[in-house]
Structure 1
Amino acid sequence: MSGSRRTSPSPAVRPIARHGRQRTPNAALSILKFLGIALSVVLVSTMTVTSIAAWDLSRQVKTVHLGNEQTIGKIPEISAIDGGVNLLLIGSDSRANSVYSYGEDPESELNDVNILLHISQDHTNAVAVSFPRDTYVEIPECEDGQGNTNGPVEESKINTALDYGGGSANGGLACAVKTVENLTGLVIPFAAEITFDGVIEMSNAVGGVPVCVAQDIEDDHTELYLPAGVHDLQGMDALKFLRTRYGVGDGSDITRISSQQVFLSSLVRKVKSASTLTDVTKLYGLAGAAVRNMTFSDSLKSVDTMVQIAKALAPIDLDKIVFVQYPTVESYDQSGLYPNSDAADALFSAIQADQPIALSAPDPENATGSVPAPGTETPAPTEAPSDTATDAPAEGDPSATPTPTDGGVAQMPSGVLGQSAAQETCSVGRSLDDQ
């Protein structure tokens, strides 16, 4: 792949933020979605999984006893990373070196999952933004790792950035980062990519995730059939749930993301529970799955850096961890989505200012893939950080905490959809008769 690419002019866009059904080619049905698993790799780190990962790596080092080694003193404690964090997680549809079978190889490599994790400077709140794969964006000029340059491209779907960068084996991850930086205006110094096998391994390692289903899920495409109720999903069943599109909501990729957040929020709650935190076997398994199934940017090659990010996330309450979808509008011909500029500006202005965000109640006319779980109440809007600043930490003090920012809660417009990790929700199933 070399030279520059240009796409045809964009189709007309409706000036409303309505999320209708997406008519995606059948080939896309084989693409496995793992929003919850991908993000959980980072969120699970809040429970010192990355520390276990460091132990896992150290166990793999071959050593020879010299007989003259000196005893090393206690290893210094690693402090939380200084300041905020922007980290992009992508999931590729590549089947390369996979242990499992995922159906017909699409003979392409797309970054179908793109999740931007932002941790505030004061480590009091975090936002994870999921970008729908069919969103049309500008792809900046990218090197493909083979001496060629691709782009810039005025308009292409965001999930083509990995391909423009030469795929996973070359500069694909870097191109995805440049694309999201260009779209959001943020600087993203950390990035990671997860494989298909990581979906199964991560869900197995955590011992399953309890998922609530409000109505029956019936999907012939993924062969997932779940009656209403609570199901403990792991392995291939978890994979099918994260993949299903036509079996939830209105059958669109937008409602699939909403349904996946049901899985994600439940996963985070389970990982933060005492039973998981005290189970070394589960922690070790999660860390091993992450190490085996992820590719990291050079900025994350040090396990110490991962531990520092983990410590930044560790104290954040569940209601201050918010998952949102990048706001979009649909094209007239339903070939894809375009940024909802006003809503996106509000979202990223808050992120730039490190403000915690409060989500508006969803518009009942815009179908979502989830509803509140029976007997639960929506948590109160996120409260602003304390206006009282802490004393400046002593230089070099590893236990010092950052000074809280002085910003109020940013109320999001209705075009920003999502939920917090504290909210218990159920996936809205869809029967075969409605498809």
Structure 2
Amino acid sequence: MRLGGRLQAAIEILTDIETRHRPVPEALKDWGLSHRFAGSGDRGAISNLVHDALRMKLSHAFIMDGGTPADLAVATLLRQWGISPEELTASLEGDKFAPEIPSVELLSACLARDLGQAPAHVRADIPEWLVASFERAFGDDWEAEAQAMTARPPLDLRVNTIVTDRDQVLAGFEGQGASATRLAPNGIRIEAGEGPQRQIAATSEVNFAGGWFEVQDEGSQLAAGLAGAEPGEIVLDYCAGGGGKALAFAAMMNNDGRINAYDADRRRLAPMVERIRRAGVEIIDIKERPFNLAGLEQAMDRVLVDAPCTGTGTWRRRPDAKWRISEKNLSDRTADQDKVLDDASVYVRPGGELAYVTCSLLPEENTDRVKAFLTRHPEFETISLKQRWRAAVADPDAPVPYADQNLGLILSPRRTGTDGFYFAGFRRKL
């Protein structure tokens, strides 16, 4: 497909997402099934166009003086892909599959618009009602933090040290742009491509099948490291999902100890079975139902709560979620977070630790929940995070990314080069 066909496809998919309120993956999949002639390179380029357009939806609409799917897709090519109005017009000329676009003169006038005159939330490309939350989280830096969420995310891998080391995995990706992560001691990063360039399919590698690595954002790797699981301990991953952090714990513990993996939605645990086998992990027990946790009360050295949240920290990867979030979503999630913290805390032994993690940047889900938990549970106290941070990261000079009032840590694309994560730790008093 030429650029015109790819542009038209992106417009059709964006229209489908807007009119039918569909998640991006579903819309992309359906388009691909009905256009089987499109090759993998075409599908990758179209996916990039759609995701890029949604990452900067508001500022694109301001520049174009209109927010139609066509406006967004054209603005993406101009502003994010670096194609000039003249180049774009020339590329589409004579292409019967290309949509009609404004003239070179009009496109140039759009690009000349002063984005500095736009409202702050438009410059930041976030819903207006979330400005106050971002200001609370980041102070005067909130706009730059939000803008950093509009970039494409890298592909991060966690080396499974049970079976190999980082040098071996890096050698396996020679020539594919892989490098060691700056903060996560066992991480590997492959930066995102530009324009139509696709990210590599790491899970198709032979070494993936051999259990050498898992796909896991560097921020998630750091959250597991901050929880601090050690060999010989008994651990509970209370919101285990697909098991990414439980697998990271198993490697940190050198396959020595016991990890109990539980999730209220037991269907989410199913992928863990194959992941455990592939990784050579021997210490994870999957707990499907609440009664499987009987007898573990006040017996765990560490409990991890990777809480359900709005996912604002993952907006680079799921930009459509940025425009679906509502105040009701936030209210529902904070109620869930309070409950899951209360429920999980009963399993922490005296002197043991409870780790609270979200992939959110909002203080309503982070520091506010920590304060509320401490009020409800005076038997717990917060742990010092400076030393824990120094032990978890590979770069000894990396500044500690404290959250508001130093109550927990907040990772973000701008601060740490990772997805957005929050981490807080508690200890049950003796």
TM-score, length of structure 1 as denominator length: 0.26
Higher RCO (CA < 8 A, seq sep 6+): 1
Choose 1 or 2 for highest CA Rg: 2
More helix by share: 2
More strand by share: 1
